[in-house]
Amino acid sequence: MQSLKEIYESHEGRLLNKWTHYIDVYDQYFSKYRGQEIVFLEIGIAHGGSLQMWRKYFGEKATIIGVDVNPECKQFEEENTIVYIGSQEDPIFLEQLKNKIPKVDILLDDGGHTMKQQITTFNILFDHVKEEGIYACEDLHTSYWKEYGGGLRKKSTFIEFSKKFIDNLHAWHANEIDKPKIHNQITTNVFAVHYYDSMVFLEKKKMVAPSNTFKGEAQLKNHFLNYGQKKKITKRIRAWLGL
């Protein structure tokens, strides 16, 4: 079986454009889906080359769905490859899309890359990715490019939006006042958030509050959790240690 890199490097079909390092990262997360009856959704079709690449990669059993604002992309439909025309920054279009397509195993946002497009798409389509699926967004460098609405630490960028996922993942550990501010669908549905240059991958999985366990018995006589504050073992840490 050809690797994605081999498929990409030898591609001679319709025009295809990817940053080179993306290929290995895709392979790392997507390879387990090869040869299976999965639903793969790519936003952003351009000249149709990536739809051809994904077909070769995932195989005939995959349902490949493409979305693009350009009506000309409709011509890339073929057996088991469906194309929807509409804008990813239009919430009504995205809601209608959700009603038309099954939940997806993988969603890859390679569309227009503006802040509004990436954030609207995430807000509406994240819950349309299956429980164990993957949500990926690429070309995150536009969060640093003025022409796309970007700018370093600018609050409205997708990068700043996605940095909040880190708090959401840790909501289980926040105090009672802060918890409601950060406990959301990411907390209960995301196992991991992975960043690469210009890419973020969210691995979905049903999550429950993490548990901490001890194994073995022998212990040091003097054991301090925090050497600076050896007398201040709080109630929370006592409970955590089972003391």
Ligand X SMILES: C[S@@+](CC[C@H](N)C(=O)[O-])C[C@H]1O[C@@H](n2cnc3c(N)ncnc32)[C@H](O)[C@@H]1O
Asked if residues 12 and 30 have their Cβ atoms less than 8 Å apart, the reply is no
Min dist. Cβ of residue 125 to ligand X (A) = 12
88 is a site residue for ligand X (CB under 6 A): yes
198 is a site residue for ligand X (CB under 6 A): no
CA distance 55 to 52: 5
How far does Cα 164 stand from its chain's mean position? 14
46 is a site residue for ligand X (CB under 6 A): yes
* Binding mask of the shown chain, residues 3 to 42, with x at each position contacting ligand X by CB under 6 A: -------------xxx-----------------------x
Q: Among 7, 41, 84, 110, which residue interacts with ligand X (rule: CB under 6 A)?
A: 110
Structure tokens at 222: 């003097």
CA distance 187 to 217: 33
70 is a site residue for ligand X (CB under 6 A): yes
Phi, psi of 142 (to 5 degrees): -65, -15
Residues whose CB is less than 8 angstroms from the CB of residue 230 and which lie 6 or more positions away in sequence, other chains included: 224
One DSSP character per residue, 137-171 reads EE-GGGGG-GGGT--TT-TTSHHHHHHHHHHHHTG
Q: Among 111, 133, 149, 150, which residue interacts with ligand X (rule: CB under 6 A)?
A: 111
Q: Among 44, 133, 149, 150, which residue interacts with ligand X (rule: CB under 6 A)?
A: 44
133 is a site residue for ligand X (CB under 6 A): no
Min dist. Cβ of residue 231 to ligand X (A) = 58
Q: Among 117, 142, 162, 168, which residue interacts with ligand X (rule: CB under 6 A)?
A: 117
Beta strands in the chain (DSSP E): 39-43, 63-68, 81-85, 104-109, 129-138, 190-196, 199-204
Q: Among 19, 29, 77, 87, which residue interacts with ligand X (rule: CB under 6 A)?
A: 87
> Residue numbers of the site for ligand X (CB under 6 A)?
16-18, 42-46, 49-50, 67-70, 87-89, 110-112, 117
